[in-house]
């Protein structure tokens, strides 16, 4: 999947979790940082390729991307596994704990979960592609859904652009329409705290 599909999938997953399992209290700062963390998590697994958005935005990122990609075993290897998910989760938690003193009004647990939801959504979405995902690394088998490879999505083709992406948008519209009152209540609660 391309970056914008991963961004939308990450925000969709975060929205569903936010509505179905709302936090007791949350500051506006926490919401803003959590959404940013979610979007970063949604594209983090692709740092194993030199064409990733992160590397494109750095002055000599293409070279860092190549080196980093080789260290991680190439595209759709370590960063696209449960092992990679656990390592990035651990490192992100360390970073957030280190930054906590300068972000006193931010709930780092919510931010961390938002990052992890974004990262997990990336792996789930890539499971629907022809390449699949090596969920159980070091076992080098790439899993995909549906099991028949020919029925899966090819990245950056009309199916992704004109079926998957619009379906995510339609799902968001439907979901927020169905949970409108609950979302309004949650937002009022956040604003009043």
185-188 own/partner pairs: CB under 8 Å, 24+ apart:
186/18, 186/19, 186/22
Residue 178 lies in a domain: yes
Alpha-carbon distance of 59 to 78, in angstroms, equals 25
Instruction: Give pLDDT tens digits for 65-94.
Output: 888 787 877 788 899 999 999 999 999 999
Residue 122 lies in a domain: yes
pLDDT digits over 1-33, tens only?
Answer: 898 999 999 999 999 999 998 887 788 899 999
More confident residue, 119 or 63: 119
CB 134 within 8 A of CB 142: yes
Into how many domains does the chain fold? 1
- Segment (H or E) for 2: none
pLDDT value, residue 193:
60
Four-point Cα dihedral 76, 82, 83, 87, nearest 10: 100
pLDDT at 53 over 80: no
- Classify residue 192: in a domain, yes or no: no
What percentage of the chain's residues is helix, strand, coil (to nearest 5)? 70, 0, 30
pLDDT per residue as tens digits for the range 32-50? 999 999 999 999 999 888 7
Supply the pLDDT for residue 170.
97
Dihedral angle sign, alpha carbons of residues 157, 161, 167, 169: positive
CA distance 57 to 61: 7
- Structure tokens given for 134: 């090596």
Tokens of 33: 């940082």
Domain contains 193: no
Q: What is the pLDDT of residues 137-160, one digit of tens each?
A: 999 899 999 999 999 999 999 999
In a domain, 27, yes or no: yes
Specify if 190 maps to a domain.
no
Domain, as residue range, for 123: 3-185
Q: What is the DSSP string of 11-47?
A: HHHHHHHHHHS--S---HHHHHHHHHHHHHHHHGGGG
């Amino acid at each position: 999947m391309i970056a914008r599909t991963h961004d939308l999938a990450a925000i969709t997953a975060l929205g569903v979790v936010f509505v179905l399992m709302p936090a007791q209290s949350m500051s506006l700062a926490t919401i803003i940082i959590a959404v940013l963390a979610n979007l970063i998590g949604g594209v983090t697994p692709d740092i194993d390729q030199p064409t990733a958005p992160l590397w494109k935005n750095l002055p000599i990122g293409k070279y860092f991307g190549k080196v980093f990609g080789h260290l991680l075993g190439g595209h759709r290897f370590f960063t696209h596994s449960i092992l990679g998910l656990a390592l990035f989760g651990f490192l992100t938690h360390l970073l957030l704990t280190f930054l906590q003193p300068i972000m006193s009004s931010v709930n780092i647990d919510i931010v961390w979960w938002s990052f992890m939801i974004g990262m997990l959504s990336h792996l789930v979405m890539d499971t629907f592609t022809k390449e699949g995902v090596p969920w159980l690394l070091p076992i080098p088998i790439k899993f995909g859904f549906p099991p028949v490879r020919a029925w899966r999505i090819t990245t950056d083709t009309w199916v992704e652009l004109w079926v998957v992406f619009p379906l995510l948008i339609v799902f968001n519209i439907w979901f927020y329409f169905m949970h409108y009152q609950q979302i309004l209540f949650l937002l009022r609660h956040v604003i009043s705290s």
